[in-house]
Chain A
Amino acid sequence: MIVELGHYALVLALALSLVLTVIPAWGAHTRDAALMGVARPAAFAMLFFTAASFVALAAAYVGSDFSVLNVFQNSHSAKPLAYKISGVWSNHEGSMLLWVLILAIFAGLVAWRGAAMPRRLLSYVLSVQGAIAAAFFLFILLTSNPFARVMPAPFEGEGLNPLLQDPGLAIHPPLLYLGYVGFSVAFSFAVGALLEGRIDAVWARFVRPWTLLAWAFLTLGIAMGSYWAYYELGWGGWWFWDPVENASLMPWLAGTALVHSIVVMEKRDALKVWTILLSILAFSLSLIGTFLVRSGVLTSVHSFASDPARGVFILCILVFFIGGGLTLFAWRAPVLRQGGLFAPVSREGALVLNNLFLAAACAAVFIGTLYPLALEAVTGAKISVGPPFFEATFLPLIVPLLLLVPVGQTLAWKRGDLLGVLQRLSAAFGLAFVGTIIVFATTRGGPVAAPLGVGLGFWLILGSLSEITSRSHRRGASVLTVLRRAAGLPRAAWGSAIAHAGVGVTVIGIAATAWGVERIATLKPGEQIALGPYQVTLEGVVPRNGPDYREVAALMVVRDGDRVIGRVEPGKRTFIARTTATSEAGLLTVGLGQIYASVAEVGAADGSAGVRLYWKPWVLLIWLGSVAMAAGGVLSLSDRRARVAAPARRAVPAAVPAE
């Protein structure tokens, strides 16, 4: 019964999304206040019914209702509760429902915060949100119904894919979707501005917090996915340039460019047309990411063609929104008035450069991901584009950008003084240089690029610090005054400094992977092996049981000299429901580095185990830096600027009746 109600709620949500699409837009077009007044309640109602539908599916999962096909295929009664819940979005149908739920949440949030927004803009924005939601409601109802029943109801479910039964992957999809779908708000604002034919700094002020929020979530989502791949896939890599990873990196790069160009627009009323285009592109890339992953086109062009219903549907959605958005852009963008002027050497100029590099880096990922598909479709020739290609094209585009970040941060708006900036940064540069020399002198092995990479990280961190100190330090000021001034700086300044320092932290973590140590060996019980500065001893191989799996674990002790510093217990798990096996890495965190162990062959007569051991110094910095980036984004969006924007607008008398 609950399941049918959930299905029905989804149909009602579709109806509401159509109302939301048509009526407020018509109201905005004809300047009819009553019709525009429909926008907010319709958005709230759409959110309510989408949430109800999602809760119904979650209830079916929690109650292990195997008469629902989706639950039967992806759940098992012995599964821990947390994974029953995360099972909802671990499959195609459920994850699309989560996608549209998050879209409805964003529409609801915009409606909630939008009381202060210009009426026509709000109506257009919510209309576009409604249209996107309508397309995905239709997609779910027509091709991917999560509420389909199975008769007769089986007694037991088939279980969740064991690789997905993991805390990292339980929260990775919602985070990633919050990012992907969050960019729909920027898209809707862009389309709204184009329809209205007006765009100004106020527009930028309204759209900026949403973009930052989406960007921060996407950053966390990607970092989470990367960490999951690192510890779950069993060979210790953290980024594979896999098409599914690239699908999330593309909107992130476009979103990063957008977050920067919006600042230019808000502060200086410049780069308007480009910001609108980026808003459309960021969400378009999110849609393309959804298409790539959901359609099966990545496996091969042929697998897409053999089961085309879903793929073709998403392709239609893609063509409609991307094509529609870009057509509208081409048609209406010339109407938009160009904004403020700036000298090439200025903060604006630096941000233009930032956008150019990010756009080119995004193009590298885009071309590299789609080229093999396009080439095969056109000529039938098969080529592979893998990590070596991306390293050869992406790095030359991103490293110059990173080198310039501290300079751009320090330049003044409108007309900058390059010489003055270099003087202000001389301390940061000098310290980073000395740091690089020290790293170079104290490390052994690894390529020359590694100390240089660490130096780049230092430069980014110190450059951000320098931005804070130079804004709070005045000659002769006491330490207390400086601290007070620093604390009094706008949150956006701190957010930017923390986010850029976070990039530096991640860069150091990436560079330090060059000093990693890898050992591949077959160990007998009691045998010891050296791993970088540590020694690892195999104690023995033991069988263990989990709630829904059996495991064979290799118990190992890690010593630093004579001192035991911890244990790693990598295992191989066989999941009862699917009789599939996964490798479970054993991790021991030492400072910011990790000892990483995975096991291959166990069960030999002499009790030996084939193991792969890594010492990964500073590896945690990769993800800690990403968390700092996201934190910087959130701090920046909580800035007073964003909060005072609303009251400033509310003062304007609106000829619109209250709701």
Chain B
Amino acid sequence: MSMRKLAASGLIAAALLASAPAWAVNPDEVLPDPAMEARARALSTELRCLVCQNQSIDDSDAPLARDLRVIVREKIKAGESDGAIKSYLVDRYGEFVLLKPSFSARTALLWAGPFAVLLGGVAVVWINGRRRRDEVATLSAEEEAAIRSLLDETPAESASPVTSPRTGSRS
């Protein structure tokens, strides 16, 4: 479908924003220290390019994404922790900049929802299973009587009432 069309148009919008369509991380941005660069890359994938559609600053070629990548790298060089860098960016751009929203009253449903579905499903299956087992396990007095009368009958006689509903339901 053009499932992708929307993604595509978003990308085109992003491409238009950047005067020369390129990709993310340019050679001149890369930090000399590989460990620091790896940290910068990992952090970049968790930060949203604010003007793009659902792209991290690591993926995006928009000028703003480049600015953010540079800020992240400068702060890493200055020895700041990942958490400090994130909270700096959140102060500046809002919660929107985080691709993985932090847990709060506002996002409780988001984080707990999938696991609640799993637990709820388990509970339903368990309760349902127990109920049905109880239903099957206990026979009413009438059913007991019916079984006793069936057992007293000869097999030839009991065969027909048991089998005919089955063939009936099959047709």
Interface residues of A (CB under 8 A from B): 89-92, 95, 99, 161, 163-164, 169, 172-173, 176-177, 180, 225, 228-229, 233-235, 237, 240-245, 247-248, 289-290, 293, 296, 298-299, 338, 341, 344, 352, 355-357, 359-361, 363-364, 367-368, 371, 375, 379, 381-389, 392-394, 397, 520-522, 572, 580-583, 598, 600-601, 610, 612, 652
Contacts of B21 in A (CB 8 A): 572, 581-583
Residue pair B22, A600 in contact (C-beta under 8 Å):
yes
Residue among A241, A243, A368, A388 making CB contact with B46, cutoff 8 Å: A388
Q: List 8 A-B contacts (CB under 8 A).
A: A164-B4, A225-B4, A245-B7, A356-B125, A371-B110, A384-B101, A386-B48, A386-B100
Is residue B87 within 8 Å, beta carbon to beta carbon, of the partner chain? no
Residue pair B3, A245 in contact (C-beta under 8 Å):
yes
Given known pairs A359-B121, A363-B114, A393-B114, the reply for A388 and B45 (CB within 8 Å) is yes
Residue pair A177, B1 in contact (C-beta under 8 Å):
yes
Residue pair A293, B23 in contact (C-beta under 8 Å):
no
Contacts of B96 in A (CB 8 A): 382-384
Contacts of A388 in B (CB 8 A): 45-46, 99-100
Nearest 3 Cβ contacts at the A-B interface: A386-B99, A364-B114, A388-B100
Is residue B139 within 8 Å, beta carbon to beta carbon, of the partner chain? no
Residue pair A389, B100 in contact (C-beta under 8 Å):
yes
Of the stretches B25-33, B70-78, B143-151, B154-162, the one at the interface is B25-33
Is residue B127 within 8 Å, beta carbon to beta carbon, of the partner chain? no
Return B2 CB to nearest CB of chain A, in Å: 5
Given known pairs A299-B53, A363-B113, the reply for A387 and B45 (CB within 8 Å) is yes
Contacts of A161 in B (CB 8 A): 5, 8-9, 12
Given known pairs A356-B118, A363-B117, the reply for A89 and B2 (CB within 8 Å) is yes
- B20-64 contacts to A, CB under 8 A, are 20-27, 30, 45-46, 48, 53-56, 59
Residue pair B27, A522 in contact (C-beta under 8 Å):
yes
Residue among B12, B99, B106, B115 making CB contact with A379, cutoff 8 Å: B106
Considering the chains assembled together, what is the distance between the CA atoms of A612 and B6 in angstroms?
25
Residue among A90, A341, A392 making CB contact with B100, cutoff 8 Å: A392
Return A179 CB to nearest CB of chain B, in Å: 10
Residue pair B113, A367 in contact (C-beta under 8 Å):
yes
Contact-residue bracket for chain B:
35 or more
Residue pair A176, B20 in contact (C-beta under 8 Å):
no
Residue pair B46, A225 in contact (C-beta under 8 Å):
no
User: For B6, B96, B122, B171, which residue has the most chain A Cβ atoms within 10 angstroms?
Assistant: B6
Return B48 CB to nearest CB of chain A, in Å: 5
Residue among A163, A247, A344, A600 making CB contact with B8, cutoff 8 Å: A163
Residue pair B122, A356 in contact (C-beta under 8 Å):
yes
Residue pair A383, B106 in contact (C-beta under 8 Å):
yes
The chain A residue sitting closest to B10, CB to CB, is A299
The chain A residue sitting closest to B8, CB to CB, is A163
Residue pair A383, B107 in contact (C-beta under 8 Å):
yes
The chain A residue sitting closest to B55, CB to CB, is A240
Return A368 CB to nearest CB of chain B, in Å: 7
Contacts of A177 in B (CB 8 A): 1
Return A85 CB to nearest CB of chain B, in Å: 15
Is residue B65 within 8 Å, beta carbon to beta carbon, of the partner chain? no
Considering the chains assembled together, what is the distance between the CA atoms of A388 and B48 in angstroms?
11
The chain B residue sitting closest to A370, CB to CB, is B110
Considering the chains assembled together, what is the distance between the CA atoms of A375 and B95 in angstroms?
13
Residue pair A164, B118 in contact (C-beta under 8 Å):
no
Given known pairs A357-B118, A520-B27, A610-B27, the reply for A293 and B107 (CB within 8 Å) is no
Residue among A245, A247, A341 making CB contact with B132, cutoff 8 Å: A341
Residue pair A385, B2 in contact (C-beta under 8 Å):
no
Considering the chains assembled together, what is the distance between the CA atoms of A161 and B5 in angstroms?
9
Residue pair A92, B2 in contact (C-beta under 8 Å):
yes
Is residue B94 within 8 Å, beta carbon to beta carbon, of the partner chain? yes
The chain B residue sitting closest to A164, CB to CB, is B8
Given known pairs A235-B59, A360-B118, A384-B97, the reply for A341 and B45 (CB within 8 Å) is no
Is residue B109 within 8 Å, beta carbon to beta carbon, of the partner chain? yes
Contacts of B95 in A (CB 8 A): 381-384
Residue pair B12, A580 in contact (C-beta under 8 Å):
yes
Is residue B88 within 8 Å, beta carbon to beta carbon, of the partner chain? no
